[in-house]
Every structure is written in structure tokens, then in C-alpha cells.
Structure 1
Amino acid sequence: MRITERTPERIAERIPARTPTRITFVPAPVRPSHGSAPRPWAQDPFAQAMRTGRGPLWLRRADGHRHPLDVERWCAPPDAADRSLLARCLLTGRPVLDVGCGPGRLVIELLSLGLPALGVDVTSAAVARTRAGGGVAVCRSVFDRLPGEGRWGTALLADGNLGIGGDPTALLARCREVLAPGGTVLVEVEPRDVDDRVTVRVEDASGWSGPPFAWARVGASAATACAAEAGLAERERWKVDGRAFMAFTRLS
């Protein structure tokens, strides 16, 4: 895509809206038998949803509250809010690491726009879906050794992925490690001020749930504080269609 006006809003307008790509997978495996040890995101309802492209799914807290996971949106082409993220990636022109890429809609779009991008996800079904759609992804944790450490221009934490591991400061510090000097972390935060560190399970409509794991939900104020501890400086805040985002820059 030829960029003539270098503002995120103008660039986002020029990113074409795309129709969904039909991806067919083999049927999902049966649920783990008694005595097996399912892993969060990798052997639970989320993995099955990545194969089918359908929800509904929730993160169920120990107190009974649950937070919806927007599986259908994640498996669809990028929407206007997503394009605001993509535009900022294009402005830098530097390679992008999508942390917790899921089915890969952002990686696939960035590659189609000519920008190097790699997805990282612990769910093999999500990685398979990303690759089937034309993306590039590896199946591992962001805390594992990753390709190109210290050379990425941008790290993405979209779709609530700032919650990975239940410790946003540790996650942002890890993102800082994989960035090149002057690199950027683009983060989706909660649209309201919240700072929750909780234990959750992924649950589907039938009541099937995976194992418990630590998760976090943070708004802009908490994200800024965590980023500062991690050696990142806030650069920008913006909202599109009710979703909230922030940009942080590696200080050194």
C-alpha cells in the first residue's frame, strides 16, 4: 500500500476492508479423558473454538462472574478498530510481533500490506488457523525464546492479551526485551479504569471448562503504571468503536 498521508487515521482509511476467508478444519478432538492434564488455551474450549471459528466462550472467574471472548470477531477480517492498530504498524514500517495472535487476522493483514509480521500463540489450533489463512506463526509462549529477539519494531497485545500470565508488568517487560531500541508496544486496554488480577477458566456454552490460570484486566491508568515499571513510556491513547488502545515506546 502506498502511503501518502502519514497519520494513523488516514492510513487506516486506506486499508481495504476484506471479506472473510473460508477456512475448513478437521473436526476437533474429543475432550481430554479423566486423568489427563489439559493446558490453558491449548487443550480447552478455546482450542476447539479456533478449529470451528465459533463461540460462545467466556473467561469464568472463581466468584462466578464471566467475561465474554469474541471468537467470531477474532476469526473475521480486521474491523475499523483493528485497522487503527494496523495503521500505526504501517507508520513505523518495522517488523511486527503479534503476541497471542489467535487465528491471526492481524498477522495475515500486515503481511498482505507488505509488512513483515509473526504471530506467537500457545494454541496449536490458533497457529494452524493463522497459517491456513496465509499468515506466519509459531506455537510457543511469549516467555519462551522467540525468533528475532531484540529486533522487532512493534509488539502487539490486542484483544485483551495484556492479561497474559496475570502480570502485565512482567509481560510488558518481556515485550520490551524482544523490541529493538525505540520499538513500540501497541496495547488494547479495558475501556474503563480497572485493575483486576484474577484466576479464570475458559468455558463454553455447554459448561465445559479448561484448567485455571492467572489473568489480568487493566485499563489505561494501570497499564501506564505497569509500562513505566517495565521501562516503557506512554506515547498515545485512542479509542475506536468502544475499544481502547495505547502505544508505549521502549526507553532505551
Structure 2
Amino acid sequence: MSTAHEIAPRRAAGPPPTAPAWAADEPYAAALRAGRGPLFLRRTDGWLLPLEVERWCAEPDPVDLEVLDRCEGAVLDVGCGPGRLVAALAARGRPVLGIDVSEAAVGHTLRLGGPALRRSVFEPLPDEGRWDTALLMDGNVGIGGDPRALLRRLARLLRPGGLLIIETAPVDVDERVHVQVVHGAGGGAGSPFPWARVGTGALLRHAGRAGWRGAGQWSADGRCFVALRSRRTNTSAEPPKSTAVISSQRVRKPSAGSAVASR
């Protein structure tokens, strides 16, 4: 069983990480500290996508709880944000780890009692190939701006047949863009970074090409979700010893120089 302290400082294959932009994003960090927006993703053409900071900083709502009820075994929350889902799973006694590039997000998660690492999904992570469930909630399928590369990476993190639950855009969209996090319609902005928006139909197409099989889809309260199963075979992977993951991560505090996944 690996721990965060045993990970070599190399980078896994994948698209350029969004870590530098998110890690230094003061509008996002300030919103998390305040627990409210207004906060947006702004495309280069000026179009704004509202970010639901208040919901992310609140207790899990009934839609979130339905997702948590579907989780299996040890859970990796990719782009955990302020940690509402990680903390809720930990409170249930579920082996869980949140990862996020934002120091403010990881700190918030730790204060809620959830284990978290400040790290990119494209960097080495504990127990690769052994996680039972991974979550991409709140639009995090956009991480890195390349959904297919992200899906391939997650297939390497999960055990064979592992479960991936993705929250998709509630509209028919499949776009790759550069965005900035901005406070208010005309407030301060962070650095640009690549992002993607993917609806359910597009996600299923990307998933099929990346070697996943569909395991269900549903919607609730205007939010849309897809469940996928990994087809990857890995005869060498051991069952996840997830209790050790929790104990090793709970004591680790993020540092300014630590490797940094994203919201």
C-alpha cells in the first residue's frame, strides 16, 4: 500500500495540467473562504458560466446523497473542492480521498474532517489501479480540457471493473475552451487555463472510445449524471487496503511546494 510520502516526483502522462492556474487562483480561493460567490468561468469570448460556490460549501444535498449512495468501496473524489462529499463519505466510515489543486479547497476539506491531497489527477496518486469508485462532480469532467485523456487517466486509477460517476452538463454540448475564474461579472480574474464542457451524449461517445462501458444515467433537480465501468484488465492489482489511505492522508497538510487536480 503506497502513501503520499512514497510517491516519486514524476508526472503521469496526460494533457498539460491545470494546476498552475488553479493553485494561484485568488478569486476562487477568496470565494471558498467566504463560502459564497458570485464566481464564474469566463470564456475568451466573454461568455460566463456561474459556479455554485454556495452549494459546494454547504452540506450535501439530496442529489449529492444519491450519488454517495451509489459509491462502492474506496472512493477517489477528483477535484473535491471544499470537500462536502469527501467529508460526508468519511463520516459514513467510507475509505475516501479528495484531490484538488487549490490549497484553499484542500484546507477546507481537511477542516471538515475529510482526507485530501493538493495534487493534480495527472500526477502520481496513492493506490493507482486499486480505487473502487471515482467521482467527477460539479463539472470536473472539464479538468485539463481533454475529456478523453481524463477518462483514460481515470481508467488507470480504478481497479478493473471500477465505477466512475460523472456529472455532465445539463445541455447538449461538447466544447474545449480556455477560461478564467472571475469574481462577479466584471471583477478580478485568475489566469487562463484549458477546460471542457461535456453533455451526456458527448460523454458517452468519449467514454466508448476511451474503453469504458455504460453503467447507467440519471438526472435530478436539473443535474445530470453518468455511471461508467472500467473495462481495463489488471491481474496484478491487489484489493485496495483503503484504511491505510485514510490514515496516511489525514495527517498530511498541504504545503506551498507540494504537487498540486482541480475544480
Q: Shorter-chain TM-score: which interval?
A: 0.7 to 0.9
Paired with 1:129 and 1:48, the residues of 2 have a C-alpha distance of: 12
Residue among 50, 54, 57 paired with 1:75 = 57
Q: Which residue of 2 aligns with 1:114?
A: 93
Partner SS for 1:159: coil
- Unpaired runs of 5+ in structure 1? 1-37
Q: Which residue of 2 aligns with 1:227?
A: 207
Paired with 1:232 and 1:63, the residues of 2 have a C-alpha distance of: 33
State the 1:77 CA deviation.
0.5
Q: Which residue of 1 aligns with 2:38?
A: 56
Paired with 2:61 and 2:100, the residues of 1 have a C-alpha distance of: 21
2:176 matches 1:197 = yes
State the 1:73 CA deviation.
0.3
Q: Which residue of 2 aligns with 1:164?
A: 143
TM-score, normalised by the number of residues in structure 2: 0.79
Q: Which residue of 2 aligns with 1:183?
A: 162
Paired with 1:174 and 1:39, the residues of 2 have a C-alpha distance of: 19
Q: Which residue of 2 aligns with 1:15?
A: none
CA contact (8 A) 1:80 1:240 kept: no
- Taking the TM superposition and a 5 Å limit, the aligned residue runs for 1:36-55 are 39-44=20-25, 45-55=27-37
Paired with 1:118 and 1:250, the residues of 2 have a C-alpha distance of: 19
Paired positions, count: 212
Paired with 1:183 and 1:67, the residues of 2 have a C-alpha distance of: 31
Paired with 1:151 and 1:98, the residues of 2 have a C-alpha distance of: 14
Q: Which residue of 2 aligns with 1:142?
A: 121
State the 1:84 CA deviation.
1.4
Paired with 2:21 and 2:51, the residues of 1 have a C-alpha distance of: 14
Q: Which residue of 1 aligns with 2:195?
A: 215
List per-residue Cα deviations over 1:225-249 (Å, max 9, x = no partner). Answer: 1111221111100011110000000
Q: Which consecutive segments of 4 or more residues in structure 1 shift more than 2 A?
A: none
Paired with 1:222 and 1:164, the residues of 2 have a C-alpha distance of: 15
List per-residue Cα deviations over 1:52-77 (Å, max 9, x = no partner). Answer: 22211000011110100000100000
- Using the aligned pairs only, state the percent identity: 55
Equivalent AA in structure 1 for residue 40 of structure 2: W
Q: Which residue of 1 aligns with 2:102?
A: 123
2:65 matches 1:99 = no
Equivalent AA in structure 2 for residue 103 of structure 1: P
State the 1:223 CA deviation.
0.3
TM-score, normalised by the number of residues in structure 1: 0.82
Q: Which residue of 2 aligns with 1:174?
A: 153
Paired with 1:145 and 1:69, the residues of 2 have a C-alpha distance of: 28
Paired with 1:148 and 1:242, the residues of 2 have a C-alpha distance of: 34
List per-residue Cα deviations over 1:117-158 (Å, max 9, x = no partner). Answer: 100000011000000000000001000000111100000000
State the 1:48 CA deviation.
1.8
CA contact (8 A) 1:111 1:135 kept: yes
RMSD (Å), alpha carbons = 1.1
State the 1:100 CA deviation.
0.1
Paired with 2:69 and 2:220, the residues of 1 have a C-alpha distance of: 13
2:232 matches 1:249 = no
Partner SS for 1:214: strand
Paired with 2:95 and 2:70, the residues of 1 have a C-alpha distance of: 14
Partner SS for 2:76: strand
Q: Which residue of 1 aligns with 2:68?
A: 86
